[in-house]
Amino acid sequence: MPRTSTRPAAAGRRDDRYRLDDQIGFLLRRAYQRASANLVERIGDHDLTAPQFATLARLYERGTLSQNLLGRLVVMEPANIRDVVQRLRRRGLVATGRDPEDGRQLLVCLTPSGLALVRKLLPVEAACTAKTLARLGRAERTLLCDLLRRLTVD
C-alpha cells in the first residue's frame, strides 16, 4: 500500500549514478513531443498530424512513390503508412493506384488539392521548426541536426 512517507517507498541503497533525465531516449521523447505539439499548434486547424504532414512533404519532394518506399522514407512500418495513406486518401489529399508493371505495389501521389495544401503549409512548417529551435543559436541548431542525423545512420 502506498504511503505518504517522507522516505521513498523504494527505500534502500539507490544507484545515484542513474538519472532518468540523463537518458537520451527520455530526452528525445520529450523533445519530439514538444516539436510535434508546436507543429500541430500551427497546422492543426487543417487537421494534419506531424506524420501526416511528413508523408505529404515527402510526396511533394519525390513525386509518385510506392506505398512501401514512401513508408521507408518517412520511417513508418508498412502497417502504419498504410493507415496514414488511407486517411489522406479519404480526405482527397492523396491518390492511389496499382502499378501496372508490378502488381504488388500501390502507387501513391499528391492530388492537386494535396499539392496546394503542402505548398501552403511548407512555410508554416519552417516557421514551426524555427520556434522549436528558438532557444538555440544558429551554430547550435545545425550542430543539433547533425548530431541527430548521426544517431540514425544505418
Partner DNA sequence: GCGTTATTGTTATGATCATAACGATATGGA
Partner DNA sequence: TCCATATCGTTATGATCATAACAATAACGC
Counting contacts by CB under 7 A, is residue 59 touching DNA? no
Using the rule CB under 8 A, is 124 a contact of a copy of itself? no
Is residue 132 near DNA by the rule CB under 7 A?
no
Q: Binding to DNA by residue 66, rule CB under 7 A? A: yes
Tracing cell 514512401 back to the chain, one arrives at 70
In degrees to the nearest 10, what's the CA dihedral of 52, 102, 63, 127?
Answer: 20
- 104 touching DNA, by CB under 7 A: yes
For residues 1 to 40, the per-residue mask of contacts with DNA, x marking binding by CB under 7 A and - elsewhere, is: ----------------------------x---x--xx--x
Query: How far apart are the C-alpha atoms of 77 and 138, rounded to whole Å?
Result: 34
C-alpha cell at 62: 519525390
- Strands of the chain, DSSP E: 65-66, 94-99, 102-110
Which residues are 99's β-sheet partners? 102
Q: Does residue 76 belong to the site contacting DNA (CB under 7 A)?
A: yes
Amino acid making up residue 139 = A
**If binding is defined by CB under 8 A, does position 87 make contact with a copy of itself?**
no
The footprint of DNA (CB under 7 A) covers: 29, 33, 36-37, 40, 49-52, 66-69, 71, 76-80, 82-84, 87, 102-106
